[in-house]
Structure 1
């Protein structure tokens, strides 16, 4: 489970899995946790007892977690999800960045969430670069005149001046140190791309952008003597591409150059663990919220493409309703009416997905759960967790529906729609969505949308609303 690299211990586990780590590595002599300040107070790792041993348990966050300066915990998704990058891009899901470094492979297109991370990383690399000093090279310059300096070119002098009877002029050359080199032109071009991104018009300017712009403007001043190459010819330079190693004293340029090339080529970030490429801050993803957002947004996009006469809503926001009603008259089981607590606080029914018709009638509610049930069971198919069913049935009753839908990531057994059974008047269905392979994701999402349409009473060939 663990491997030691010098004094650093790397622990591999899956989300929600408990792992044993020598307590001397994360507890001090007073039995207090020794944690990285960036994860202290966050529900990322939990300490608990299991079978008499003190262990750490991962939560729903996946990524590389710096527990402290002695231990790194690498948490992988417990379900076979091969589409983390796509899911984050399509949902705009927030990614928690930590200051530890790890490798991410670049691919795809640099969407806003990736550009935010690129901008932060480039600013940090530039601070380090400018503190250590900009790289320069010697450039050969040539001239001719009455006051030569550097090295006299005797051949040119004889041909141009002595042969013509001009005794007081000479051709000469010298070398000057300059910062206008391909490496610096590459970094400056990336800085300008990031500056354009941060200053582009936005309906809601993001917090912190002004400080980043001011910081970047100061860094650009240091590159004032570096020329511009709008054709990006520096991308053919072997030093820029890493084909020729940098001088040892300038090795700190590598991170800034690699990231600059990624920015200029418009690449995104692959969040699948184990990639190699540009070094960026460690990113943590809450897979519970990510899976919920991805399912809801995918259904909403499919509904829009197929012109379904419904709205796909977030039950935690615009799709929620009051959980309790206050009847009139109030019940009087003891002879006098009892005041309802719901008259002060009616509570909220908040399904993850609410499908509402244009007539304002509710057609379907769904609870999206990124949970693993039956993974270690010998049976191929098992019942969903009882608390999930109870929640979904309660919501179905509140929304006036005779069925409830659960949506889980597929682990094993049957894929697609499964009928669980009936709780009094409410039928319970469970949809197992297969996201285990990149190439089958679109088909899996389309099948899920057709199933939802069927349950919601929408014909597959629903005509456009305008018709």
Structure 2
């Protein structure tokens, strides 16, 4: 660590603050905070007197603040299965230039697989820079002399048949066709195939394809024995010191091939990867929208108000657009507008926003969805009516023991809120 100081880990909930003495972020009289921390909005710093106030933004994860201080930003409310939520939302894990250790555990969903593949590509940059692992193999052939002449084999196999113009030789040649390289190449290919199905728009795929194309062509197909050989190599740490950079890509490759996963909720363990950062406000919105898209019954159609569900905010001009998070359409009913708010409780500004959406979309039903503090705060509640517009709130329990049941309740509640006249007309 810098200056020989012990590394310090701070823990804070998103959108919350923690204070430190100013001396904690100083080195030789200068502030040594990493510039990308504030430029990317990962953390915000305010200096007051002899103290610094560190405020977490919308990102969660382990964020390096200085060479000696890291800040672990956790979701403001408990989350029971972050990997499931990320897979459901089709979200990607960002990363910063700081390693941490992870526990093994859980299923290897598409988000974790993408994260592992991204880490593998980062590790392979050093392999490309410092050289691929090679070994010497024995080559025996009959023909022009090359290497050591095998007198006994020459007499027995060649001269005895009258082929006195030929000799048997033996030479040792270097090759990259070794178990670690075959495993890494196979992990690249398997991860790319899986991600093309699950996350075809992932930017990691383009990078992975470039690495795969540049991989030495002399590396042959993966063999069943390669995984065992790689596991033994990782256990024994028997590579030459000049090739110790191979352990990281090899370990990640074996994780991918064995379909192992890592826990995103707990720190500690023995698998070293880049630290992840995640815009959980965006994930929460995408998770709720994707849940409705998968679970809303026909003839409901769920659209993204930031995409195919958008429309102009004003009636007499095309700009600016209205961007509700979720638009739930039905052929015979006015649309339902759902706006996701990753906060303890929606405020007056949130109500004003969805009432504006109600006027824009010609509907009388809007819903503010937010994380519930616990099971007693879940479900649909009418907050009030404004000039005929019903404003509902829905508390979603991200810490539910069974998230699948929670998703089903959410979809049923949203699609169950319809204008009363429309229900009567359908019954008639």
Report matched runs for 1:22-61 at 5 Å: 22-26=21-25, 34-48=32-46, 53-61=51-59
* Partner of residue 367 from structure 1, selected from 339, 345, 360: 339
Distance 1:233 1:451, change over 3 A: same
Give the gaps of 5 or more residues in structure 2: 158-167, 421-428
* Partner of residue 355 from structure 1, selected from 319, 328, 334: 328
Confirm whether residue 8 of structure 1 aligns to residue 7 of structure 2: yes
Aligned to 2:234: 242
Aligned to 1:187: 184
Aligned to 1:96: 94
* Partner of residue 127 from structure 2, selected from 119, 126, 129: 129
Looking at structure 2, the residues matched to 202 and 82 of structure 1 have their Cα atoms a distance apart, in angstroms, of 23
Larger radius of gyration: 1
Normalised by the size of structure 2, how large is the TM-score?
A: 0.77
**SS of the residue 1:10 aligns to:** strand
Count how many residue pairs are aligned between Structure 1 and Structure 2: 409
Cα shift readout 1:33-77 (whole Å, capped 9, x = no counterpart): 644344342222112368995301001100111223232111111
Give the gaps of 5 or more residues in structure 1: 162-170, 326-342, 374-383, 459-467
Looking at structure 1, the residues matched to 290 and 192 of structure 2 have their Cα atoms a distance apart, in angstroms, of 30
Query: 1:114 Cα deviation (Å)?
Result: 4.7
Looking at structure 2, the residues matched to 21 and 217 of structure 1 have their Cα atoms a distance apart, in angstroms, of 49
**SS of the residue 1:252 aligns to:** helix
Query: 1:17 Cα deviation (Å)?
Result: 1.4
Looking at structure 2, the residues matched to 96 and 43 of structure 1 have their Cα atoms a distance apart, in angstroms, of 13
**SS of the residue 1:79 aligns to:** coil
Aligned to 1:414: 377
Looking at structure 2, the residues matched to 83 and 386 of structure 1 have their Cα atoms a distance apart, in angstroms, of 31
Q: Flag the structure with higher strand content.
A: 2
Query: 1:260 Cα deviation (Å)?
Result: 1.0
Query: 1:247 Cα deviation (Å)?
Result: 4.0
Aligned to 1:338: none
Confirm whether residue 389 of structure 1 aligns to residue 385 of structure 2: no
Confirm whether residue 287 of structure 1 aligns to residue 280 of structure 2: yes
Normalised by the size of structure 1, how large is the TM-score?
A: 0.71
Distance 1:109 1:431, change over 3 A: same
**SS of the residue 1:271 aligns to:** strand
**SS of the residue 1:364 aligns to:** strand
* Partner of residue 217 from structure 1, selected from 213, 217, 223: 213
Report matched runs for 1:115-126 at 5 Å: 115-126=113-124
Aligned to 1:328: none
Q: Flag the structure with higher helix content.
A: 2
Answer whether contact 2:369 2:395 (CA < 8 A) is retained. Answer: yes
